[in-house]
Structure formats: C-alpha cells, structure tokens
C-alpha cells in the first residue's frame, strides 16, 4: 500500500520511530500496519491485512511475533504532542474471545455486562493529558488466567502492581500521579505505587472507616501520644475540621487529611456531597496519597481517568481491538497495542493538531471513513492511470475522500 492521500500520519510515525534502533524494513512495516488498522473496515486479521496491504499473510504473522517497544513509541508521541500536564491512568479491559486454546483465556469481569464473561483481558496504561482532556495509550499487557502466572501466593491485584512497577522508570518521567478506579483502593496496591515513588488517586467506599487526626495539646503523661480523635461520622461531620468548597448550589466538597484504617496511613480525602436524581443527598469519597494535594485537583484527576475508556471504545469499535485470531501471546500483544496505538495516531493527526479553541467533537468513525475512502481512491487512480494532481481532479479527489463522513 502506498498511502499518498495524507502524509501527516506517516510523519507522526517516522518522528516517533527516529530514536529506535530498527532497520528500515521494520520501520516501513510498522508504518504500513498502523495505517492499515485505520483503513480496513470490518474485521482486522491477517487475511484482511494481506488483502489491503503490501505483504503476504505469512509476513504479517512473522512480524507480529517479533517484539516491539510500544511503551517507548507511545511515550514519544505523548511528549511530542501533549501539553506536559499528565496523569497516569491504569484500567483493565475485557476482550471478547470465544476460543479455548488461546493463551490467557478465562473468565474476566466485563464492566459493560456487569458480569464475568469468557475471554481475555488487557491491563491498559495511558497518559491522560489533563489540559487537553485527552488520553494517550502507552502500553497494554495481557492479563494471565488463573491457570497461568497467578497462584495462591500471587493475587490478581499483585500482578497489576507488578506490571506497573516494571515500568516505573518510564511512567515516573511522565507523571508522579497514578489514577485507578475504586477496585484498586487496597493497601497492597497503594504500597506498590508508593514504592514506585508515585502517588495513588482513587475512590473509597461510601462507608469507608476513617478517623480524625488529633491536633490538640499533649497531656504530658507516659505512653504514646494521642494520634486520632475518633471515627468520622459522615452524617455528623466536624465542620471546623474539614475545608469546605462550594462547587454549585447542589454540590460541596469537604477535604481534610485523615487516617485510613484499611490503608494504615494518613491520606488526603475529597468527599463530594451532591443531590442524586431522586433529590436525596449522597456522597463519593475520593482520596490521594499526596497529603499536600488540592481537593479540587483530586476530583479533577479522578474524573480525567475516564478518558482511557474512550481509547478502549474506539479500539473495539473501529480498529479491531477484539479481532485478532492468533493463538500466540506475542501476536496478541502486538495486535492489542497496534490497535490502540492507531487510535493515538488518528486523534493526534486529526484532532489534537487543531488549535484548542477550534476543535470540533472528535469522530473516529469519520477518520475511519476518510482513510478507507483514500485507499480505495488510490487503487482507482493506479488501475485507471488517472493523474490526481491536475486542478480539476484535485477538487474531485478531495470530495471523494470525505464522502460519507459526518462533517461532509
């Protein structure tokens, strides 16, 4: 495939590959694959890659087996095109897979179905650009099944922590804040994050057992000084202890440094009281292991975490995240990361490159249609020997490339 229609995405790939010790054949192959993931409509597997691409099916199978450092590649994209204000988001995602011989298959939790389903799971790491409200995919690691690397001595939560710890040097260069959902608000995971010299931001149970810190005078008596001043009663808070921020008429934030019984350490909480759909007051308790962090930043960072879900959504709907039919762990890993990396490239090229005050809503469906139309037009031009560079044909080619997009 000779992609002539839009060279901006090829420039993105080449710039991100500049510092990698790869030969030119491998670089050309990676550029080809990323663009094919954006061009092919329907299932994206080795047979489809052969139909649309330059190489044979066997070539794609062999190259997918070879390792590639997606973490470094996507980190280069992040630092080159982001604002510099990042948080690290970690979130597992369920991948549908009906086979039984594929490595790693088992029963995993599906957030959409709210049930455990048969298939695969990936642990996704992303750098969320807080200023642009945008997530850059960094790396995806397949979760082992209970019959694989997990055993009685190592829980799934321990494995998630080890995945992050192995990448701590690269992650800490991007941000010192790691954001994860409420499932990860457990002591072993918090301690693992702290060992990485990073801070954890997450959400606690609504009835979390927390204690006030004692700031009163010392009695001077023998024994350990008093550290805590009773359990927090969420229905009867000490107003003089909490810093209160009024967000709007129905939402207030109460923040303070408190002692967590489950974590066995002090944490900074940001408790949000708001009215639900039924008009009843309810609360959500967010926390950070950084005791100096602003309460508004805790809330903003946790809400920004959801941007990683949009990367998964676009990968599953448009770039074949769930389409790989290989039964090799290396091929599966390459496919998962290539799918999510192609979403990065599409968003950077067609949305992030636009000035912030002029950006429309991003549509991955439009990008997919644009690239599919482009590859078809190039085929027509080659077969019918049409010169696309004449003044008359240039206008027609641009119109056909955008045919079927919502913006058109």
Say yes or no: 328 and 384 in one domain. no
In a domain, 196, yes or no: yes
How far apart (Å, rounded) are the C-alpha atoms in residues 210 and 264? 10
Strands 134-142 and 115-129: antiparallel
Closest residue by Cα to residue 68 from 30, 120, 104: 30
Give bridge partners of residue 231 from the DSSP assignment: 211
Q: What is the dihedral of CA 106, 110, 114, 116, to 10 degrees?
A: 0
Please say whether the dihedral angle defined by the alpha carbons of residues 59, 61, 63 and 66, taken in this order, is positive or negative.
negative
For the chain, what is the domain count? 3
Say whether both 267 and 408 belong to one domain: no
Place of tokens 């994209």: 77
**Cβ pair 345, 80 in contact under 8 A:** no
56 belongs to a structural domain: no
CATH number at residue 287: 3.10.450
What pairing do the DSSP bridges indicate for beta strands 86-96 and 115-129? antiparallel
261 in helix, strand or coil?
coil
Separation of alpha carbons 171 and 164, rounded Å: 8
Largest alpha-carbon pair distance within the chain? Answer: 96
Torsion, CA 98, CA 103, CA 106, CA 111, rounded to 10? -80
The dihedral built from the CA positions of residue 336, 339, 343 and 348, taken in this order, carries a sign that is: positive
Q: Is 220 left (phi over 0), alpha (psi -120 to 50) or beta?
A: left
Q: What's the full length of the chain, in residues?
A: 408
* 122 lies in some domain: yes
Q: 174 and 279, same structural domain? A: no
CA distance 346 to 230: 53
Residues 174 and 78 in one domain: yes
Q: Are residues 335 and 389 in the same domain?
A: no
Do the Cβ atoms of 141 and 332 come closer than 8 Å?
Answer: no
Per-position pLDDT tens, the chain of length 408: 334 445 678 888 888 887 667 888 899 999 999 999 999 988 999 999 999 998 999 999 999 999 999 999 999 999 999 999 999 999 999 999 887 888 889 899 898 888 999 999 999 999 999 999 999 999 999 999 876 566 667 789 999 999 999 999 999 999 999 999 999 999 999 999 999 999 999 999 988 999 999 888 887 778 888 888 889 998 888 888 999 888 887 888 999 999 999 999 999 999 998 887 777 888 899 999 999 999 999 999 999 999 999 999 999 999 999 999 898 999 999 999 999 999 999 999 989 888 888 888 888 998 998 898 888 877 777 777 777 777 766 666 666 666 666 654
Q: 197 and 213: one domain?
A: no
Q: Are residues 76 and 220 in the same domain?
A: no
C-alpha 149/C-alpha 145 separation (Å) is 7
- Cα separation of 194 and 197, whole Å? 5
Helix or strand run (H / E) with residue 122: strand 115-129
Residue 189 domain flag: yes
Backbone φ and ψ for 108, nearest 5 degrees, come out as: -130, 155
230 φ/ψ sector (left φ>0, alpha ψ -120 to 50, else beta): left
| Residues 130, 266 within the same domain | no
Q: Output the pLDDT for position 404.
A: 61
**Residue 42 falls inside a structural domain:** no
Final residue of a domain: which of 314, 332, 352?
352
Q: Are residues 147 and 180 in the same domain?
A: yes
| CATH number of the domain within which 334 lies | 3.30.420.10
Q: Let me know whether 88 and 134 are in one domain.
A: yes
Cα distance between residue 146 and residue 162, in whole Å: 16
- Measured CA angle at 376 (ends 370, 379), to 5 deg: 140
Q: What is the pLDDT of residue 406?
A: 65
Evaluate whether residue 104 is within a structural domain: yes
Residue 407: domain span: 363-408
Query: How many CB atoms sit inside 10 A of residue 275's CB?
Result: 12
Residue 123 lies in a domain: yes
Q: Indicate whether 387 and 250 sit together in one domain.
A: no
Whether residue 181 sits in one domain with residue 326? yes
For residue 301, is it within any domain?
Answer: no
Are 146 and 129 a contacting pair, CB within 8 Å?
A: no
CA–CA distance, 228 with 132 (Å, rounded to integer): 41
Boundary-marking domain end, from 246, 264, 292: 292
């Amino acid at each position: 495939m000779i992609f002539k229609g839009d060279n901006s995405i090829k420039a993105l790939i080449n710039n991100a590959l500049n510092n990698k010790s790869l030969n030119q054949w491998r670089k050309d192959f990676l550029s080809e694959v990323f663009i094919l993931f954006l061009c092919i409509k329907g299932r994206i597997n080795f047979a489809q890659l052969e139909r649309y691409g330059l190489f044979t099916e066997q070539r794609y199978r062999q190259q997918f087996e070879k390792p590639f450092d997606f973490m470094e590649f996507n980190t280069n994209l992040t630092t080159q095109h982001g604002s510099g204000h990042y948080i690290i988001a970690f979130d597992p995602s369920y991948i549908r897979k009906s086979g039984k011989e594929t490595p790693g298959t088992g029963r995993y939790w599906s957030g959409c179905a709210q049930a455990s389903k048969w298939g695969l799971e990936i642990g996704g790491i992303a750098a969320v650009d807080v200023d642009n409200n945008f997530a850059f995919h960094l790396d995806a690691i397949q979760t082992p099944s209970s019959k694989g690397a997990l055993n009685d001595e190592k829980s799934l939560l321990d494995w998630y922590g080890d995945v992050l710890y192995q990448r701590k040097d690269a992650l800490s260069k991007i941000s010192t804040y790691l954001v994860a959902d409420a499932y990860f608000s457990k002591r072993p995971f918090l301690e693992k994050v702290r060992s990485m010299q990073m801070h954890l931001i997450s959400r606690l149970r609504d009835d979390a057992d927390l204690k006030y810190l004692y700031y009163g005078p010392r009695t001077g008596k023998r024994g350990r000084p008093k550290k805590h001043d009773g359990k927090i009663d969420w229905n009867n808070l000490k107003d003089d202890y909490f810093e209160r921020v009024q967000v709007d008429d129905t939402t207030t934030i109460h923040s303070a440094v408190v002692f967590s019984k489950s974590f066995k350490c002090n944490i900074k909480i940001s408790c949000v009281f708001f009215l639900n759909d039924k008009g009843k007051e309810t609360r959500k308790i967010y926390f950070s292991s950084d005791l100096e962090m602003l309460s508004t930043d805790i809330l903003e960072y946790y809400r920004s975490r959801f941007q990683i879900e949009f990367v998964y959504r676009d990968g599953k709907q448009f770039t074949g995240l769930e389409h790989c039919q290989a039964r090799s762990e290396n091929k599966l890993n390459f496919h998962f990361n290539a799918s999510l990396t192609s979403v990065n490239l599409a968003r950077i090229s067609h949305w992030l490159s636009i000035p912030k005050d002029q950006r429309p809503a991003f549509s991955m469906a439009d990008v997919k249609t644009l690239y599919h139309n482009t590859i078809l037009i190039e085929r027509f031009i080659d077969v019918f020997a049409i010169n696309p560079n004449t003044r008359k044909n240039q206008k027609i080619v641009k119109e056909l490339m955008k045919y079927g997009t919502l913006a058109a």
